[in-house]
């Protein structure tokens, strides 16, 4: 029990040192072992964080979307080495941006097509639209044109339009964080015959009893969404809206694969525990245990690992949409080989360890998120509780 008390002191200490609020849950074998809320979800009103507080998942949406994608893989809807153009013909004649020594660029045909697995493992050569690269600028232009033309539009429309974008490198040759999982969301919608949000609700959220996890607001629940806090200095914080909050509107249609879900600590813990326990929950098999093993198998070669790894991701490789622990020693992390998960831009974090049937979910909402400070301390302390 003393270790649990140490974790409570750690979380409460984060708040005492200035973090507006944070929450943590960890579970094993389907049983929640610990849940704690520290600080406020609204500094102006002083309302305390609790089990009803909604957090933006941002990139932790990715783990849900790639799980949905791999459920369709299990059903024979696609092969990972299929060319993407089999499902989105717009990608059949992909161009690559090539620079010369003076910084000038030309376009040339890609040496090989983008494969479905390139979208899952972030080797498709498409970043997000924020940046100065030729590819990012073209993606930004296309998104603005789609907004001007349609107002609101769905993920299939966007993914198809992005097929005209010249990519940053030949598919499969590098790792580049970005648009890959939005492509996966487009595949989910196209191959399931329903919007990604509907497929996820039907096949994942409802079976797991995740009643507070959605893309869109409903029944006035937007009041439960925590602000994003930005530090002003001297211990002061400014409340802001999230970067993608407009996609939570009831009339929005875009089911992004890389971000877009909101959830609670308790809901996401149900999802993480399902993956930790071989894809099963409450007697129902959501996804196959061996499919989860494939998801968490490293997909990157040595060159791609150099693109991927940094201090925060030391010791990790990258699977089909998730980081995966290759070396606990290099990661300075007391978890197991094959532990996996991901992070959200505003401070959310999940770690899933199938060998222990163990998972943790941590959340706060700040920009910047200071993930290296908070997440690495939390994970080490939590894994110290495993008996």
Structure-block tokens of residue 195:
């919007």
pLDDT at 1: 42
Say how many CA atoms lie within 13 Å of 150 toward its Cβ.
17
The Cα–Cα gap between 176 and 168 comes to 9
> By the 8 A CB rule, do 320 and 299 touch?
yes
Q: Over the stretch 183-241, which tens digit does the pLDDT of each residue have? A: 999 999 999 999 999 999 999 999 999 999 999 999 999 999 999 999 999 999 999 99
Categorize the per-residue pLDDT at 13 as very low, low, confident or very high, splitting at 50, 70 and 90: very high
Helix axes 265-276, 61-74, angle to 10 degrees: 40
Q: Rounded to the nearest 10 degrees, what angle do helices 61-74 and 180-192 cross at?
A: 40
Distance CA 299, CA 244 (A): 29
CB–CB of 360/378 below 8 Å?
A: yes
Strand partners, 231: 237
Average pLDDT over residues 96-109: 93
For residue 368, cis peptide bond before it (omega within 30 degrees of 0):
yes
pLDDT at 274 over 50: yes
pLDDT at 174 over 70: yes
The helices-and-strands tally (H runs, E runs) of the chain is 13, 16
**pLDDT tens digits, one per residue of 137-156:** 999 999 999 999 999 999 99
Please tell me the pTM assigned to this model. Answer: 0.97
Q: Determine whether 380 is exposed, middle or buried from the number of CB atoms within 10 Å of its CB (0-12, 13-18, 19+).
A: middle
Band (2; pLDDT cuts 50, 70, 90):
low
Query: What is the greatest pairwise CA distance in the chain?
Result: 62
Mean pLDDT of the residues in the chain: 97
pLDDT tens digits for range 355-369: 999 999 999 999 999
The closest of 38, 41, 46 to 17, measured between CA atoms, is 38
Query: What tokens were used for 169?
Result: 């490198």
Overall residue count recorded for the chain in this entry: 387
Query: Domain limits of the chain?
Result: 2-60+196-383, 71-192
Q: State mean pLDDT over 247-253.
A: 96
Task: Name the region of 280 (left: φ>0; alpha: ψ -120 to 50; beta: rest).
Answer: beta
How are beta strands 316-318 and 323-325 bridged, if at all? antiparallel
pLDDT for 76 equals 98
- 302 vs 268: CA distance, rounded Å: 32
Residue 356 exposed, middle or buried by CB count within 10 Å (0-12, 13-18, 19+) = middle
Report the distance separating Cα 186 and Cα 18, nearest Å. Answer: 40
pLDDT at 244 over 90: yes
The predicted-structure confidence for 38-51, as pLDDT tens digits, reads as follows 999 999 999 999 99
Q: Which helix (H) or strand (E) holds 221?
A: none
| Tens digits of residue pLDDT in 279-324 | 999 899 999 999 999 999 999 999 999 999 999 999 999 999 999 9
As given in the structure block, the two tokens for residue 310 are 């940094």
Q: Report the C-alpha gap between 189 and 198 in whole angstroms.
A: 9
CATH 3.40.50.180 assigned to 2-60+196-383 = no
Q: What is the pLDDT of residue 102?
A: 87
């Amino acid at each position: 029990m003393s270790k649990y008390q140490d974790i409570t002191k750690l979380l409460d200490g984060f708040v005492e040192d200035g973090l507006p609020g944070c929450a943590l849950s960890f579970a094993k074998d389907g049983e929640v072992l610990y849940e704690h809320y520290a600080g406020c979800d609204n500094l102006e009103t002083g309302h305390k964080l609790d089990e009803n507080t909604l957090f933006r998942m941002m990139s932790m949406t990715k783990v849900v979307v790639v799980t949905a994608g791999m459920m369709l893989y299990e059903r024979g809807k696609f092969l990972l080495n299929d060319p993407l153009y089999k499902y989105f013909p717009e990608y059949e004649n992909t161009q690559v941006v090539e620079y010369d020594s003076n910084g000038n660029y030309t376009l040339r045909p890609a040496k090989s097509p983008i494969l479905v697995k390139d979208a899952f493992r972030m080797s498709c050569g498409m970043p997000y639209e924020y940046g100065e690269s030729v590819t990012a600028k073209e993606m930004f232009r296309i998104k603005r044109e789609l907004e001007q033309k349609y107002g609101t539009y769905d993920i299939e429309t966007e993914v198809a339009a992005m097929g005209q974008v010249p990519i940053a490198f030949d598919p499969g040759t590098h790792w580049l964080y970005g648009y890959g999982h939005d492509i996966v969301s487009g595949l989910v919608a196209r191959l399931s015959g329903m919007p990604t949000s509907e497929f996820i609700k039907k096949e994942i959220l409802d079976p797991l009893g995740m009643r507070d996890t959605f893309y869109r607001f409903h029944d006035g629940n937007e009041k439960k969404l925590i602000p994003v806090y930005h530090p002003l200095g001297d211990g002061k914080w400014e409340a802001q809206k999230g970067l993608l909050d407009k996609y939570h509107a009831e009339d929005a249609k875009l089911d992004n694969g890389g971000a877009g879900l909101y959830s609670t600590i308790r809901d996401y813990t149900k999802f993480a525990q399902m993956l930790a326990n071989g894809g099963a929950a409450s007697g129902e098999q959501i996804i196959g245990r061996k499919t989860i093993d494939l998801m968490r198998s490293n997909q990157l070669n040595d060159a791609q690992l150099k693109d991927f790894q940094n201090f925060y991701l030391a010791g990790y490789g990258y699977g089909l949409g998730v980081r995966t622990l290759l070396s606990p020693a290099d990661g300075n992390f007391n978890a197991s080989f094959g532990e996996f998960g991901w992070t959200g831009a505003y401070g959310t974090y999940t770690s899933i360890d199938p060998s222990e049937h163990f998972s943790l979910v941590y959340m706060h909402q700040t920009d910047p998120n200071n993930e290296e400070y908070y997440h690495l301390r939390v994970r080490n302390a939590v894994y110290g509780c495993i008996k």
